[in-house]
Structure 1
Amino acid sequence: MPIPAISEPAPPRTLLRDDVYTRLRDAIVDGTLTPGERLRDQELATWLGVSRTPVREALLRLAQAGLVQASPGRSTMVASLDARAIHDAQSVVAMMHRLAVEQAVPQLRAADLAAMRVANKRFAAAVRKGDAEAAIAADDEFHGIPVRAAGNTALAAVLEQYTPVLRRLERLRFSSLSGRDSVGLHNTLVDLCEAGDVEGAAAVSHATWETLKPLLADLGEPSE
Structure 2
Amino acid sequence: MPVPQSRGLVSRSLLRETAYQAIRDAIVDGTLAPGERLNDAALVEWLGVSRTPVREALTRLEQMGLVQTKPGRHTLVSPLDVRAVRNAQSVTTAMHELAVREAVPHLSATELDAMRNANARFAHALRGNDAAAALAADDDFHNITVTACANDAVRTVLEQFTPLLRRLERVHFSSLSGRGSVAQHERIISLCEAGDTEGAVAATRANWQTLRPLLDISPPESP
Identity score, percent: 61
Paired with 1:133 and 1:164, the residues of 2 have a C-alpha distance of: 13
Q: What is the Cα deviation at residue 126 of structure 1? A: 0.8
In the alignment, which residue of structure 1 is the partner of 2:156?
Answer: 157
In the alignment, which residue of structure 1 is the partner of 2:28?
Answer: 29
| SS of residue in 2 equivalent to 1:32 | coil
In the alignment, which residue of structure 2 is the partner of 1:182?
Answer: 181
CA RMSD between the two structures: 1.6
Alignment of structure 1 residues 2-41 onto 2, 5 Å: 11-41=10-40
In the alignment, which residue of structure 2 is the partner of 1:67?
Answer: 66
Say whether 1:48 aligns with 2:47: yes
Letter in 2 for 1:47: W
Letter in 2 for 1:40: N
Q: What is the Cα deviation at residue 10 of structure 1? A: 7.7
Alignment of structure 1 residues 96-111 onto 2, 5 Å: 96-111=95-110
| SS of residue in 2 equivalent to 1:218 | coil
Paired with 2:71 and 2:83, the residues of 1 have a C-alpha distance of: 22
Paired with 2:155 and 2:23, the residues of 1 have a C-alpha distance of: 19
Paired with 1:60 and 1:148, the residues of 2 have a C-alpha distance of: 27
Paired with 1:203 and 1:212, the residues of 2 have a C-alpha distance of: 15
In the alignment, which residue of structure 1 is the partner of 2:5?
Answer: none
Q: What is the Cα deviation at residue 138 of structure 1? A: 0.4
Paired with 1:95 and 1:119, the residues of 2 have a C-alpha distance of: 22
Using the TM superposition, name which of 29-38 and 73-82 deviates more.
73-82
Q: What is the Cα deviation at residue 218 of structure 1? A: 1.3
Task: Report the TM-score, using the length of structure 1 for normalisation.
Answer: 0.90
> Structure 1 runs of 4+ off > 4 angstroms?
none
Contact kept in structure 1, 2:116 and 2:186, CA below 8 Å: yes
- Cα deviation 1:179-209 (Å, max 9, x = unaligned): 2211111000000000111111111112111
Task: Report the TM-score, using the length of structure 2 for normalisation.
Answer: 0.90
Paired with 2:203 and 2:177, the residues of 1 have a C-alpha distance of: 18
Paired with 2:85 and 2:128, the residues of 1 have a C-alpha distance of: 26
Paired with 2:172 and 2:122, the residues of 1 have a C-alpha distance of: 13
Contact kept in structure 2, 1:69 and 1:78, CA below 8 Å: yes
Letter in 2 for 1:73: G
Paired with 2:197 and 2:205, the residues of 1 have a C-alpha distance of: 12
5+ residue gaps, structure 1, are: 1-8
